Structure 1
Amino acid sequence: MFGLHYRLERKAIGLVLAIIGVSSIGGLVEIAPLFTIHQTVEDAPNMRVYTPLEVAGRNIYIREGCYACHSQMIRTLRDEVERYGPYSLAVESKYDHPMLWGSKRTGPDIARLGGKYSDAWHVAHLINPRDVVKESIMPGYPWLARTSLASEDLGLHLKALRRVGVPYTDEMIEHASNDAYGQSAPDSSAAEGVTKRYGEATNVRAFDGNAGRLTEMDALVAYLQILGRLTDAATKPVASAEK
Structure 2
Amino acid sequence: MFGLHYRLEKHGLALVLGIIFVAAIGGLVEIAPLFTIDETVEDAPDMRLYTPLEVAGRNIYIREGCYACHSQMIRTLRDEVERYGPYSLAVESKYDHPMQWGSKRTGPDLARIGGKYSDEWQVAHLINPRAVVSQSIMPSYRFLASTALRTDDLGLHLKALSRVGVPYTQEMVTNATADAIAQASADGGEGLTTRYGTATQARVFDGNPGQVTEMDALVAYLQILGRLTNAAHANSQPPEE
TM-score normalised by length of structure 1? 0.96
Question: Offset of 1:192 from its aligned partner?
Answer: 2.0
- Alpha-carbon deviation of 1:225? 0.2
> Which of 198, 208, 211 is residue 210 of structure 1 equivalent to?
208
Q: Does 1:164 align with 2:164?
A: yes
- Taking only the aligned residue pairs, the percentage that are identical comes to 75
Distance 1:146 1:194 in 2: 25
What is the DSSP-based 3-state SS (H/G/I as helix, E as strand, rest coil) of the residue aligned with 1:95? Answer: coil
Matched-pair contact (CA < 8 Å) for 1:182–1:192: no
- Cα RMSD between the aligned structures? 1.4
Is the CA contact 1:51–1:198 (under 8 Å) kept in the aligned structure 2? yes
- CA distance in 1 between counterparts of 2:26 and 2:59 reads 33
Q: Indicate which of 226, 229, 238 corresponds to 1:228.
A: 226
Shift of 1:60: 0.1
Which residue is 2:83 aligned to?
83
Give me the whole-angstrom Cα distance separating, in 2, the residues matched to 1:79 and 1:102: 18
Q: CA deviation at 1:212?
A: 2.2
Corresponding residue for residue 38 of structure 2: 38
SS in 2 for 1:207: coil
Residue 219 of structure 1, aligned match among 212, 217, 220: 217
Task: Give, in whole Å, the separation in 2 of the partners of 1:38 and 1:213.
Answer: 44
Match of 1:117 in 2: 117
Aligned to 2:27: 27
How far the C-alpha of 1:239 sits from its partner, in A, is 8.4
Q: Provide Cα deviations, 1:85-122, integer angstroms capped at 9, x if missing partner.
A: 11100000000001111230010000000000000000
- Aligned letter for 2:170? D
Measured in 2, the distance between the counterparts of 1:26 and 1:153 equals: 40
User: Partners in 1 of 2:208 and 2:191 — Cα distance?
Assistant: 20
- The CA distance in 2 between the partners of 1:20 and 1:78, in whole Å, is 42
**Alpha-carbon deviation of 1:227?**
0.2
Residues 87 and 236 of structure 2 are in contact (CA less than 8 Å); yes or no, is this contact kept in structure 1?
Answer: no
Q: 1:11 is aligned with what amino acid?
A: H
Residue 158 of structure 2 contacts residue 173 of structure 2 at CA under 8 Å; is this kept in 1? yes
Q: How does 1:1-243 map to 2 (within 5 A)?
A: 1-187=1-187, 191-238=189-236
Q: Any idea what SS the aligned residue of 1:193 has?
A: helix
Question: Can you list the C-alpha shifts for 1:107-166, whole angstroms capped at 9, x where unaligned?
Answer: 000000000000000000000100000000000000000000000000010000000000
- CA distance in 2 between partners of 1:209 and 1:199 (Å): 24
**Aligned partners of 2:235 and 2:14: how far apart in 1?**
52
Point out where structure 1 has 5 or more consecutive residues left out of the alignment.
Answer: none
Asked whether the equivalents of residues 185 and 212 of structure 1 are also in contact (C-alpha less than 8 Å), the reply is no
Moved more, 11-20 or 132-141: 11-20
Question: What is the distance in 2 between the residues matched to 1:163 and 1:3?
Answer: 51
Displacement over 3 Å in runs of 4+: none
Deviation at 1:237, TM superposition (A): 2.2
Structure 2: segments with no counterpart, 5+ residues:
none
Instruction: Quote the Cα distance in structure 2 between the aligned partners of 1:103 and 1:86.
Output: 19
8 Å contact from structure 1 (residues 145, 216) kept in 2: yes
Confirm or deny: 8 A CA contact 2:57 2:220 kept in the other structure: yes
